[in-house]
Structure 1
């Protein structure tokens, strides 16, 4: 299941997000979306978890959590058609 994480602090790293989600289960991939001009984070990213139950638990526990001074929003990513 692909999970969207929004409202991340610009200083949050992929390693931080990976560690956060690994507490709830296996993580297939983790990526921050970067600004091509500045090279900095755009403030959101994606995590893929192979087990939907673990992904749902992570979403439930991590949504509205304070991470590095920002209240993050975590939800299931919508599929692009």
Structure 2
């Protein structure tokens, strides 16, 4: 299951994002989206968790949690329609 994490403090790294989700179960990937020009975080990222039950626990457990002073928003990512 793909999870969207918004409102990330700009200094949060992919490793820190991974550590946040690890207690909830298996994490396949953690990606912080970067701006192509500035190479700085855009303030959001994606987590991929293979087990939907663990992913839902992570969403419920981490939504609105304060990370580096910013309350993060965590929800299931919506699949992009195929063009």
Shorter-chain TM-score bucket reads over 0.9
Q: CA deviation at 1:37?
A: 1.0
Q: Which residue of 1 aligns with 2:79?
A: 79
Structure 2 stretches lacking a partner, 5+ long: none
In the superposition, the TM-score normalised over structure 1's length comes to: 0.98
Structure 1 stretches lacking a partner, 5+ long: none
Count the aligned residue pairs: 81
1:53 is aligned to 2:53: yes
In the superposition, the TM-score normalised over structure 2's length comes to: 0.96
Backbone CA RMSD of aligned residues = 0.4
Q: CA deviation at 1:61?
A: 0.5
Structure-to-structure mapping, 1:14-53, within 5 angstroms:
14-53=14-53
